[in-house]
């Protein structure tokens, strides 16, 4: 049986074999020909007992699609891992992974909050994970730029962008149904960061494939967001050639305190959280933190203020055209996560340069520009690439194509129609999606996601909330942590919405024990409200979520 999946007008054909149910869920039987789709190689299928790390008995399946030769001389395939729990709940999760992919992350189905022990697998879901079609360690000769070297092959770019999910999803679902001998009741996709982008891509290109999608802090316009890396590095080095010294931890604490002073009480309660971020964007003025004379402490220099304002405004070309988004002011900018991405990582092999200056630079050069830009594989070489990035000359390369790379980075990375979204096919299929994004995200601007949602809402007559809900997370950087309530669960309301038609409302949240940056919030809880509502203080004398109401 041949099945065509239409991806933005392109038909991708995969071959499926008639489903043959295994007797009594025979794990090893999945290795036999006829028990998996033709052309798919299953290399391992073993019964796996519970462990302290994965306390669920399951069948672990590993395999790959057929090898192919890339134009760069490397060998490519989509490698995957599928975990089939003994106590199956009848549902399936496609785990969308983040970063540059290139590794098969364990198929556990992390639920994207701070509680790492709560997983989709642990809840009884069958879960698949993949490397998105390339091996991140296949180019050691390129040094620390090697994880993005797959960008030298056009099909590897496409797989990374969207075709790996489209190819693997029907194959993995057939393996699930073969193993259990019955149809999957509901299919979900879960991912954050680049994985969140995969979820938005699935809603656009694979509108009929997923009943529910959970997208955390998505890299919606990832190639454009990568241009921000060059702007930041150029701005920080004007303060100090050693980026880590451009802003000390104390400097960032000064910024956070200034934002709190201006914005903390805008939601009705001064509690260490900026709960009304839209109001904060006009209430906070970074100039108020500038030192007035030499030797002042507890303030920022004029050069630092300029650098922050430059970064916050987002990249522009010489015509003043916006190349990416503006950013949000939030006290989570003083978090370790924000610092690691923007100013100083903890990776000695990178010279402790920020993640944007290493992984981000390598991706911008080799994956998001056409043709790929040659770049050295050392920290200094990658920083030099960003320092030399010209917003007139180089930024248009994310839109470029040529005879070899027939899709631009914008084509293969950004969900079609995202500049004016309606998601009509996804909506009309009756499917649902929850998106959440931290206001202090240093990688993908929350305002970019908010702008996308506003357009989606306008194009659906003010009723986007009938099938997509957006939640903003105060204080949260790129993932759980920061001065935020990071113990939350968006999967449960998504499932209730998909399966019981119970639309999500306010979602309660607490703090995970590991989040030491939220010590000032310890013992308290909050509410996250569907955008554009804000959790406002009701005056209740309590420390739990009852002190707030969505308004």
Q: Which residues are catalytic?
A: 193, 441, 478
Under DSSP, is residue 164 helix (H, G, I), strand (E, B) or coil? helix
Q: Give phi and psi for 538, each to the nearest 5.
A: -95, -10
Query: DSSP assignment of 357-405, as one string?
Result: IIIIHHHHHHTSSSSPPP--SSHHHHHHHHHT--TTTTGGGGS---SS-
The C-alpha atoms of residue 390 and residue 378 are separated, in whole angstroms, by 21
The C-alpha atoms of residue 398 and residue 214 are separated, in whole angstroms, by 27
Q: Do 201 and 415 contact (CB within 8 A), yes or no? A: yes
Q: Do 398 and 157 contact (CB within 8 A), yes or no? A: no
Pairing mode, strands 126-130 and 79-85: antiparallel
User: Of 193, 192, 198, nearest to 210 (Cα)?
Assistant: 198
Residues 6 or more apart from 416 whose CB is under 8 A from it? 8, 204, 205
Side-chain-side CA neighbours of 531 within 13 Å: the count stands at: 28
| Residue 396: burial class (beta carbons within 10 Å; 0-12, 13-18, 19+) | middle
The C-alpha atoms of residue 232 and residue 307 are separated, in whole angstroms, by 8
Query: DSSP assignment of 490-512, as one string?
Result: SHHHHHHHHHH------EEEB--
Instruction: Pull the structure tokens for residue 413.
Output: 């990375």
CA angle, 124 then 128 then 131, to 5°: 150
Q: Burial letters for 101-126: b for 16+ Cβ neighbours within 10 Å, e otherwise? A: bbbbbbbbbbbbbbbeebbbbbbebb
Q: Do 528 and 509 contact (CB within 8 A), yes or no? A: yes
The C-alpha atoms of residue 41 and residue 154 are separated, in whole angstroms, by 23
User: Of 96, 103, 97, 94, nearest to 125 (Cα)?
Assistant: 94
Instruction: Pull the structure tokens for residue 201.
Output: 């891509």
The C-alpha atoms of residue 82 and residue 179 are separated, in whole angstroms, by 11
Q: Between the CA of residue 111 and those of 70, 472, 516, what are the distances in Å? A: 34, 17, 20
Measured N-to-C along each axis, helices 164-180 and 194-205 cross at an angle, to the nearest 10 degrees, of 80
């Amino acid at each position: 049986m041949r099945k065509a999946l239409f991806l933005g007008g392109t038909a991708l054909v995969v071959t499926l074999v008639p489903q043959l149910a295994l007797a009594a869920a025979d794990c090893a039987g999945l290795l036999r020909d006829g028990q998996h789709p033709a052309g798919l190689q299953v290399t391992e299928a073993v019964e796996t007992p519970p462990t302290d790390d994965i306390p669920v008995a399951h069948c672990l399946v590993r395999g790959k699609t057929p090898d192919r030769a890339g134009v760069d001389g490397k060998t490519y395939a989509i490698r995957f891992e599928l975990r089939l729990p003994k106590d199956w709940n009848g549902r399936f999760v496609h785990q969308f992974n983040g970063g540059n992919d290139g590794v098969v992350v364990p198929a556990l189905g992390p639920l994207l909050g701070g509680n790492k022990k709560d997983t989709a697998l642990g809840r009884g879901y069958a879960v698949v994970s993949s490397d998105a079609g390339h091996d991140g360690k296949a180019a050691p000769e390129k040094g620390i730029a090697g994880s993005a070297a797959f960008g030298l092959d056009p099909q590897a770019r496409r797989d990374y962008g969207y075709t790996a999910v489209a190819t693997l999803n029907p194959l993995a679902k057939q393996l699930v149904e073969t193993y259990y001998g019955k149809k999957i009741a509901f299919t979900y996709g879960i991912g954050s960061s680049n994985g969140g982008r995969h979820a938005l891509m699935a809603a656009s290109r694979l509108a009929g494939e997923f009943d529910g999608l959970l997208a955390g802090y998505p890299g919606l316009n990832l190639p454009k967001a990568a241009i921000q890396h060059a702007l930041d590095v150029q701005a920080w080095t004007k303060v100090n050639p050693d980026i880590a010294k451009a802003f000390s931890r104390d400097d960032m604490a000064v910024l956070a305190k200034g934002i709190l002073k201006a914005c903390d009480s805008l939601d009705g309660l001064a509690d260490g959280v900026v709960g009304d971020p839209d109001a904060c964007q006009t209430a906070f003025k970074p100039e108020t933190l500038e030192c007035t004379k030499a030797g002042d402490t507890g303030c920022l220099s004029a050069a630092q203020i300029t650098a922050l304002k430059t970064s916050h405004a987002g990249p522009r070309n010489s015509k003043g055209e916006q190349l990416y988004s503006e950013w949000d002011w939030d006290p989570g900018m003083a978090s370790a996560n924000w610092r690691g991405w923007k100013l100083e990582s903890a990776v000695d092999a990178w010279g402790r340069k920020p993640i944007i200056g290493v992984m981000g630079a390598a991706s911008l050069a080799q994956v998001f520009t056409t043709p790929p830009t040659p770049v050295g594989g050392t920290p200094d070489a990658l920083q030099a690439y960003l320092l030399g990035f010209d917003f007139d000359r180089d930024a248009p390369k994310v839109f470029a194509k040529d005879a070899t790379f027939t899709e631009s980075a914008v084509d293969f990375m950004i969900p079609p129609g995202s500049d004016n979204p309606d998601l009509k096919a996804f909506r009309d299929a009756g499917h649902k999606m929850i998106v959440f994004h931290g206001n202090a995200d240093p990688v993908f601007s929350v305002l970019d996601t908010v702008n996308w949602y506003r357009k989606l809402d306008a194009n659906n007559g003010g009723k986007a909330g009938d099938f997509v809900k957006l939640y903003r997370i105060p204080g949260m950087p790129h993932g759980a942590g920061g001065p935020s309530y990071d113990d939350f669960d968006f999967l449960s309301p998504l499932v209730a919405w998909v399966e019981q038609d119970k639309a999500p409302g306010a979602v309660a949240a607490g703090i995970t024990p590991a989040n030491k940056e939220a010590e000032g919030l310890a013992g308290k809880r909050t509410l996250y409200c569907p955008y554009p509502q804000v959790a406002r203080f009701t005056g209740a004398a309590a420390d739990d979520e009852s002190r707030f109401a969505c308004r």
